[in-house]
Chains A and B, each alone.
Chain A
Amino acid sequence: MDLAFFLIQLLNGLQYGLLLFLVASGLTLIFGIMGIINLAHGSFYMLGAYLAWSLASMTNSLVAAIALGVVLTVLLGIALEWLLIRHFYERDHLYQVLLTYGLILVFEEMRSVIWGDDVHGVPVPDLLAYSIPLTENLSYPVYRLVISAVCLLLALAMYLLIARTCLGMMIRAGSSNREMAQSLGINIKLVYMLIFALGVALAGFAGMINAPLSSVFPNMGGGVLIICFVVVVIGGIGSVKGAMVASLLIGLAETFGQVLVPEVAGMIVYLLMAAVLVWRPEGLFRKL
C-alpha cells in the first residue's frame, strides 16, 4: 500500500466516520437524555436521502433540496415526538422497541408508496464535481472533503451548543436530573421535543448529503441503524464525545477492513464491539 492510496483510505474512513457521527449523535442523545430506544432512527436517514433525491430533481439544486429537507425533517421530528414518543418516556424499553419497530415498517412502506422501490442516483452539484489529483492515476473527489468539513462544522456546533448555550445547559441538567431541572423552571417537555427533532434532522441531513455518494435505495436505513447502535455501545450511552470517538474508530476499521481483509470486513465492527464490551461493558465514555 503506497502513501497516496493509504491517504485516500484514511480520508474515506474519516469521512464515513464523521457521517456516522451525525446519525449516532442524535441516537445517543435520545437514548441518554430521553431514555428512549429509537429503532426508527435509520428510517430518518433513509427519508433524508429520498427527500434529497426527490427535492433535488424538482428544484434542480441539491443545496435547495437539503435546505427544504432539513425543515421537513425537523417538522417530522416535532410531530412524531408530540404524537407518539412523548407518551413512551415513562414506559418500559420493550414498548419503545415495539413502537419504533412499527414506525420502521410504516416509514419503509410510505417510502414505497410515495417514491417506489427503485434505486436512484443523485448528481453531485456541478460546483463540487471534480477531484484533486494526488498521483498520476489517483485522485480524491472534492465532494467527500466537503462532506467531512460540513460534518466537522456540525460536530463543533453541537459541542458549542451543549457546552456553552442555555439549551445545552438544559440538556445537561435534564440528563442528570429530570426533577431538578423541572423544579428550576426548565421546560423539560420542550427540551425533549427539540432534542428529538434535532436527532431526526441530523440523521436526515446525513442521508441528504451522502445521497450523491451512496445513491438512494430501499431499506438503506437498516444498515446505518445497526452500525450506529454499535457506535453508541462502544462510545457509551448518552456520550456525544464517545459517539465521535467510536464513529471515527468504526469508520476507519470498516474502510481499512474492506481493503485489507475483505472476506471478514462485515464482522470487524462487531468484533471491535465485543472487545470493548469485555473491557468496558458501559462503553468508553460516560455521559456527554
Chain B
Amino acid sequence: MRAGGRFLNLALLLALAGLIAFPLAGSTFYTQLFTKIMIMAIFAMSLDLLVGYTGLISFGHAAFYGLAGYALALMVPKYEAASLWWTLPATMTVCAAFALVTGALVLRTRGIFFIMVTLAFAQMLFFVFHDTKIGGGSDGIYIYNKPHLRLGETALLDLEKLEHFYYLVLALMVLVFLLLRRLLGSTFGRALVGIKENEHRMRALGFPAFRYKLAAYVLSGALGGLSGYLAAVQFGFVNPEIISWHQSGAVLMMVILGGMGTLYGPVIGAFAFVLMQELFSNQAWFGAYAKHWQLAMGLAIILVAVYLPRGLAGLLQKTGHKADAGEPAADADGTQEGAHG
C-alpha cells in the first residue's frame, strides 16, 4: 500500500508544504482554482476507493457529488447561514443513505453492467432535479450564505474568506487521504483488494463479498458527498449539471489519469486534469481554438488510455524506485509494489 517508499513520501510532504504556502503567494484567482482542484481531489479519492481498490468501475459518481450540493441547498435556511457542524454530517448521511439503497441494487451487477447501471442511476437523479420543482428545475438554487464554523460563540473560520476556505479544504483533503490510507491498510482494506483481485475466491474463503462491497460503496458515497458539499459552498449555487455524466466522466478521468489504486494518484490526477483544462482554454496561447479546448482534452485522454495505463502515479513510482534503489536500505514495500503491477 505505501507504494514507492521514501522518495514518494518526501515528494508528498513537499507537495503538501507547497500547498500550505500557496495562498501566501498566489493570486485570488489561483487560490480559488486550487481550492476547486482540492475539492475535486477529495471527490477523486472517494472514487478511487471503488475503482482502484474494490474493482468497481462506477460511471455515476457525480450522483453523490450533486446530491450533496442539493442536500445542502435545500437544508439551509434561505437568508441566514447554517452551522457546518450539522449541515456537513447531515449531507454526508443523505449521500450514504442514497449509496446504501442504490448500492444494494447496482452491486447485484458486475462488469460492463455495473458501469452502465451506475451511470443510469446518476442520470435518474439528474432528471429528478431537472424535471421536478424540488431543486428549482434546470435553473438550480442559490446558496446565499456560506455555512459558519463556530465553537461556542467564537468563529473558528470565516468561510466567506478565500484563504480560510482554502485551508479548510486542504485540511479535509489531507484528512480524507490519511483516513483512507489507514482504512486500506486494515484487514477491511485488504479484503477489498482481495475482492478486486478475485471475488469468487474471497467468497470461497468465507468473505461476505457483497457486504464488503456495499460498505465500500456507502463510504465512497459519503466522501463523494463531502466533496459535493464543499463545491456547493464554494460556488454558492447548484444546478442539475453537477450531476451530469460529464461530471462522472471527469472524475473517473482524474482517477485513471493520476493512477488508480494509489490514493495520491487521483490527487495528482485532479490537479493535472483541471490545470490541463485551464491550459487548453487559455486564449493567449491557443487563440480561437481555446474555445475548442475539449478537443485537446479528448486527444490527451485517448493518449493516456493508449500509452499510460498506470497513470501519472505509475511514472512517479518508476522514478521513486530508481531513487530508492540508489539508497543502501531500499524500502521493502517498494519492491513489493513493483510486483503488484
A→B interface (CB under 8 Å): 31, 35, 37, 39, 84, 87-88, 91, 93-95, 97-99, 101-106, 108-110, 112-113, 222, 226, 229-230, 232-233, 237, 263-267, 270-271, 273-274, 277-278, 281-283
Complex contact B302–A266 (CB within 8 A): no
Given pairs A31-B112, A105-B301, A282-B109, 14 additional interface contacts (CB within 8 A): A39-B249, A97-B57, A99-B302, A99-B306, A102-B304, A105-B297, A113-B292, A113-B295, A229-B116, A232-B116, A263-B132, A277-B106, A278-B108, A281-B109
Partner of B304, one of A98, A106, A271, A282: A98
- Given the interface contacts A229-B119, A237-B112, does A106 sit within 8 Å of B124 by beta carbon? no
Q: Please name all residues of chain B whose beta carbon is closer than 8 Å to the beta carbon of A102 when the two chains form the complex.
A: 297-302, 304-305
Question: Would you give the shortest CB distance from B292 to chain A, in whole angstroms?
Answer: 5
- Given the interface contacts A98-B304, A102-B301, A233-B120, does A109 sit within 8 Å of B131 by beta carbon? no
Cα-based distance from A230 to B297 in the complex (angstroms): 27
B→A interface (CB under 8 Å): 51, 57, 59, 105-106, 108-109, 111-113, 115-117, 119-121, 123-124, 127-128, 130-132, 245, 249, 252-253, 256, 260, 291-292, 294-295, 297-302, 304-306, 309
Cα-based distance from A91 to B57 in the complex (angstroms): 14
Partner of B127, one of A229, A267, A273: A267
Partner of A270, one of B124, B253, B297: B124
- Given the interface contacts A94-B256, A97-B252, does A105 sit within 8 Å of B295 by beta carbon? yes
Which chain A residue lies CB-closest to B57? A94
The 4 closest A-B pairs by CB, nearest first: A105-B298, A266-B127, A102-B301, A270-B124
Complex contact B256–A98 (CB within 8 A): yes
Which chain A residue lies CB-closest to B250? A101
Cα-based distance from A77 to B57 in the complex (angstroms): 26
- Given the interface contacts A84-B302, A87-B306, does A237 sit within 8 Å of B292 by beta carbon? no
Partner of B294, one of A37, A105, A266, A283: A105
16 A-B residue pairs with Cβ-Cβ distance under 8 Å, sorted by A, are: A91-B309, A93-B57, A95-B305, A97-B57, A98-B252, A99-B306, A102-B298, A102-B304, A105-B298, A113-B292, A264-B131, A266-B127, A266-B128, A277-B106, A282-B113, A283-B113
Complex contact A267–B131 (CB within 8 A): yes
Cα-based distance from A112 to B309 in the complex (angstroms): 29
* A interface SS class: helix
Q: Please name all residues of chain A whose beta carbon is closer than 8 Å to the beta carbon of B119 when the two chains form the complex.
A: 226, 229
Q: Please name all residues of chain A whose beta carbon is closer than 8 Å to the beta carbon of B252 when the two chains form the complex.
A: 97-98, 101
Q: Please name all residues of chain A whose beta carbon is closer than 8 Å to the beta carbon of B105 when the two chains form the complex.
A: 274, 277-278
Which chain A residue lies CB-closest to B291? A112
Cα-based distance from A264 to B124 in the complex (angstroms): 10
Q: Please name all residues of chain A whose beta carbon is closer than 8 Å to the beta carbon of B121 when the two chains form the complex.
A: 270, 274
Most B-side CB within 10 Å, residue of A91, A101, A263, A278: A101
Complex contact A229–B131 (CB within 8 A): no
Which chain B residue lies CB-closest to A91? B309
Cα-based distance from A263 to B129 in the complex (angstroms): 11
Cα-based distance from A264 to B128 in the complex (angstroms): 7
Complex contact B108–A277 (CB within 8 A): yes
Which chain A residue lies CB-closest to B288? A113
Cα-based distance from A230 to B302 in the complex (angstroms): 26
Q: Please name all residues of chain B whose beta carbon is closer than 8 Å to the beta carbon of A226 when the two chains form the complex.
A: 119-120, 123, 245
Question: Would you give the shortest CB distance from B106 to chain A, in whole angstroms?
Answer: 8
Which chain A residue lies CB-closest to B106? A277
Cα-based distance from A273 to B301 in the complex (angstroms): 31
Cα-based distance from A95 to B292 in the complex (angstroms): 24
Which chain B residue lies CB-closest to A236? B113
Cα-based distance from A104 to B250 in the complex (angstroms): 12
Cα-based distance from A84 to B301 in the complex (angstroms): 13
Question: Would you give the shortest CB distance from B301 to chain A, in whole angstroms?
Answer: 3
Complex contact B301–A101 (CB within 8 A): yes
Cα-based distance from A87 to B306 in the complex (angstroms): 8
Complex contact A109–B295 (CB within 8 A): yes
Partner of A98, one of B117, B128, B291, B305: B305
Q: Please name all residues of chain B whose beta carbon is closer than 8 Å to the beta carbon of A282 when the two chains form the complex.
A: 109, 113
Q: Please name all residues of chain B whose beta carbon is closer than 8 Å to the beta carbon of A113 when the two chains form the complex.
A: 292, 295
Cα-based distance from A31 to B112 in the complex (angstroms): 8
Question: Would you give the shortest CB distance from B105 to chain A, in whole angstroms?
Answer: 5
Q: Please name all residues of chain B whose beta carbon is closer than 8 Å to the beta carbon of A97 when the two chains form the complex.
A: 57, 59, 115, 252
Complex contact A109–B117 (CB within 8 A): no
